[in-house]
Amino acid sequence: MANRILVLDAGTTSTRAMIFAPDGTLERVAQEEITQHYPEPGWVEHDASEIWEKTLSCARQAVGAAGQSIAAIGITNQRETVVAWNRESGRPLARAIVWQDRRTADFCAGLKEFGHEAEVQRKTGLLLDPYFSGTKMRWLLDKSADVRAAADAGTLAMGTVESWLVWKLSGGTHITDASNASRTLLLALDGAQFDEGLCELIGVPRAVLPEVVDTHGMLAVAQADWFGAEVPICGLVGDQQSATIGQGCLSFGETKATYGTGSFVLTNKGQDIPHSDNRLLGTVLYQENGVRTYAIEGSCFVAGSLVQYLRDQLGLIGTAAETEELARSIPDSGEVIIVPALAGLGAPHWQPEARGVIAGLSFASGKAQIARAALEAMAHQTHDLATAFAADGAPWSRLRIDGGMSANDWMAQDLADILDLEVERPDFVETTALGAAMLASVGVGVHASLAEAAATMRGKTRCFTPQMDEKTRNSRLERYARARAAA
């Protein structure tokens, strides 16, 4: 009996295909990097054809001779990235605009000036920020002649990355799951489909958008051309919601933080539609049989990408792994503070115009101090979020962490120290892919429920407990707050 799950994890810097067994064991993985395009300051683009071709290539490598054992496909993806394509040819009409892109900041500011943000936040749980998909869609409609021509001709399709991949795999099924749809500014949290009023406000025709469906179930079918036989697509979910599920945060109040390209914290809010007074976000965690479970979220745009910047742009380190060794080589950062606002500041500040700051430099400051300050910035950003979550009535009792950066033991301990909180890390930190596997396994019937899937597939964990004294903690937080004010 086929009982393996093929997960397609379409991330920001790479795309992967992974084969999971019913007990959560990762059996095979294939990965390829995605080219980053930076045509102007603040602009980030991907080639949607490259995303598709490399995802398919990875999937075929991972499936290999195991094709007959694949029960279903689960897809998780970088969320707010937007793709526009022609319905007839299936070809992209422009480069995809990536979630980090800030080109629509002026458009968002204009909507704020006209007083629209309060109503948008009430309906969508989101703020008027270029982070979200809807304004990127509007920009493509305004600025790309090919996109506008396709809209006029009735041949335009737009969607986020999972929507694009489903279209290609299925040969034309145009759907998006509720978790990704809730990141567009175009879906009311209590609305089954995209909201006509929000579409009109942002300027995106409802007709170009996909149908909103559950995060798991029999959602679409991948054509036999790709893997030798038809395979049902039974899980679709945004990457941060997927990691929350992969961490087993299925009960009200349970919280996870993912440290990947950016940093994202989600707290399960059950079936209560979340509202924030502290500039956090309300989002759909998952949807089953039309019933939604929600989360409250705080998003920081720069995490692992800061380490990548130190490596690739500044040449201070050769590999990301060096940061832990450098951090341990000195007793402190020598008062060096980094505010990682290289793509603006996200929650709870929402300052798209902010820029990165390195403060406290002296002649004693070297690459060790800067590398340590970069890791310390992860805890500082997370502390800002913890304060906002607590003010919204969602204090953390424990933080479950995952993502590539969380494998750094020094950083995990620093989080526990600055948050003054127990931090739990699973041995298998790739919980984004695991969450998609859990959803697809329930969708296809390998597991009877998400609770069963989590209990079966989630492995062992390690805990980090606070060890820092209050004076040291407060001193660091005060220095960071001063540096952040200058960003």
**pLDDT tens digits for range 23-62:** 999 999 999 999 999 999 889 999 999 999 999 999 999 9
Helix (H, G, I), strand (E, B) or coil at 193: coil
Q: Give me the pLDDT at residue 66, please.
A: 61
Q: Are 205 and 199 spatial neighbours (Cβ–Cβ below 8 Å)?
A: yes
Distance CA 212, CA 233 (A): 15
Omega of the bond prior to 426 within 30 degrees of 0, cis? no
CA angle, residues 354, 243, 229, in degrees to nearest 5: 120
Confidence of residue 465 (pLDDT cuts 50, 70, 90): very high
Specify if 200 maps to a domain.
yes
Specify if 75 maps to a domain.
yes
Specify if 253 maps to a domain.
no
Phi, psi at residue 354, to the nearest 5°?
A: -65, 150
pLDDT at residue 167 above 80? yes
Q: Give me the pLDDT at residue 356, please.
A: 94
> How many domains does the chain contain in total?
1
Question: What would the mean pLDDT of 412-432 be, rounded to a whole number?
Answer: 95
In the chain, what percentage of residues exceed pLDDT 70?
99
* DSSP secondary structure code for residue 255 in this structure: E
Q: What is the CATH number of the domain that holds 48?
A: 3.30.420.40
Beta-strand pair 4-10/14-20: antiparallel
CA distances from 126 to 102, 265, 308, 347 (A): 16, 15, 28, 11
Token pair for 170: 């299925």
**Measured torsion, CA atoms of residues 163, 165, 170, 173, in degrees rounded to the nearest 10:** 20
**Measured torsion, CA atoms of residues 75, 78, 80, 85, in degrees rounded to the nearest 10:** -60
Distance CA 396, CA 403 (A): 19
Query: What Rg do the C-alpha atoms of the chain give, in angstroms?
Result: 21
Q: Are 385 and 391 spatial neighbours (Cβ–Cβ below 8 Å)?
A: no
Per-residue H/E/C for 367-384: HHHHHHHHHHHHHHHHHH
Specify if 112 maps to a domain.
yes
pLDDT (tens digit per residue) in 98-115: 999 999 999 999 999 999
Per-residue H/E/C for 385-404: HHHHHHHCCCCCCCEEEECH
pLDDT at residue 82 above 80? yes
Distance CA 191, CA 261 (A): 30
**Secondary structure percentages of the chain, helix, strand, coil, to 5:** 40, 25, 35
Q: Give me the pLDDT at residue 67, please.
A: 64
What DSSP string runs through 48-110? HHHHHHHHHHHHHHHHGGGGGGEEEEEEEE-SS-EEEEETTT--BSSPEEPTT--TTHHHHHH
Helix (H, G, I), strand (E, B) or coil at 160: strand
Range of the domain at 228: 4-240
Q: Are 293 and 272 spatial neighbours (Cβ–Cβ below 8 Å)?
A: no
Q: Are 95 and 45 spatial neighbours (Cβ–Cβ below 8 Å)?
A: yes
Distance CA 237, CA 219 (A): 12
Distance CA 143, CA 400 (A): 42
Q: Give me the pLDDT at residue 65, please.
A: 62
Specify if 268 maps to a domain.
no
Specify if 193 maps to a domain.
yes
Q: Are 440 and 7 spatial neighbours (Cβ–Cβ below 8 Å)?
A: yes
- Of 154 and 67, the structure prediction assigns the larger pLDDT to 154
pLDDT (tens digit per residue) in 342-374: 988 988 998 888 999 999 999 999 999 999 999
Helices (H) and strands (E) in the chain, counts: 17, 21
pLDDT (tens digit per residue) in 367-386: 999 999 999 999 999 999 99
Question: For residue 53, with 0-12 CB atoms within 10 Å meaning exposed, 13-18 middle and 19 or more buried, which class applies?
Answer: middle
User: What value does the mean pLDDT of the chain take?
Assistant: 95
Question: What would the mean pLDDT of 282-298 be, rounded to a whole number?
Answer: 96
pTM, full prediction: 0.88
Specify if 103 maps to a domain.
yes
Specify if 137 maps to a domain.
yes
